[in-house]
């Protein structure tokens, strides 16, 4: 099966798609509030802008990439490769592309690159995120509890000669 998953740097022209990805990650949560669609849209736009601005201000050297499946944008992957660790800032896929192994393949590549560099990989994961099980299967363990988020780490695997 030709299921080519590639990455490319985000551009200014990708902002509408990035908002769509962000909004798709909040749908279940917003289904619980008694707001109009206009109120939900305004909230999502405000939150997306705040997150987008924060990531770029706090992590100016991170790689901000679109996830492409056979050339079609399906998600985003933001990774900050630091001197002593690799930090996955965000990985998110549109709902229709979740649970197909795409995220797992990308995470395995990030882990392999970190192993090669001898660095641990860290990520903040929401306490009730269904992907928590995926991170645990990939060798991440909880090293911190920050309320709504767990800080998780996967230490580097020993390199073989």
Q: DSSP characters for 6-75? A: EEEE--GGGHHHHHHHHHHHSHHHHTTS---HHHHHHHHHHHHHHHHHHHHHH-TTSEEEEEEETTEEEE
> Residue 160: what pLDDT?
54
Distances (CA, A) of 126 to 35, 48, 87, 98: 23, 17, 15, 16
State the CB neighbour count (10 A cutoff) for residue 130: 10
Going residue by residue through the chain, which has 161 residues, state the pLDDT in tens, using 9 for 90 and above. Answer: 457 999 999 999 999 999 999 999 888 888 888 999 999 999 999 999 999 999 999 999 999 999 999 999 999 999 999 999 999 999 999 999 998 999 999 999 999 999 999 999 999 998 888 889 999 999 999 999 988 899 999 999 876 54
- Map residue 131 onto helix, strand or coil: coil
> Residue 49: what pLDDT?
95
Q: Is-contact 125 131, C-beta < 8 A?
A: yes
User: Closest Cα to residue 129, out of 152, 102, 106, 105?
Assistant: 152
> Residue 31: what pLDDT?
84
Beta bridge partners of 142: 152
All structural domains of the chain: 5-154 (3.40.630.30)
> Environment class of residue 67 by beta-carbon count within 10 Å: exposed (0-12), middle (13-18) or buried (19+)?
buried
pTM of the model: 0.91
């Amino acid at each position: 099966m030709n299921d080519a998953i590639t990455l490319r740097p985000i551009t200014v022209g990708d902002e509408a798609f990035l908002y769509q990805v962000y909004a798709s990650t909040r749908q279940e949560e917003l289904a619980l509030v008694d707001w109009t669609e206009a109120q939900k849209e305004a909230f999502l736009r405000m939150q997306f802008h705040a997150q987008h601005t924060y990531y770029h201000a706090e992590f100016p050297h991170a790689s901000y990439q679109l996830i492409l499946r056979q050339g079609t944008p399906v998600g985003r992957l933001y990774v900050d490769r630091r001197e002593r660790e690799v930090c996955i800032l965000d990985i998110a896929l549109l709902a229709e592309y979740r649970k197909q192994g795409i995220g797992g393949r990308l995470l395995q590549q990030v882990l392999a690159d970190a192993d090669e560099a001898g660095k641990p990989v860290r990520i903040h994961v929401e306490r009730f995120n269904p992907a928590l099980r995926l991170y645990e299967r990939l060798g991440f363990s909880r090293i911190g509890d920050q309320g709504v988020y767990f800080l998780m780490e996967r230490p580097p695997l020993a390199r073989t000669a």
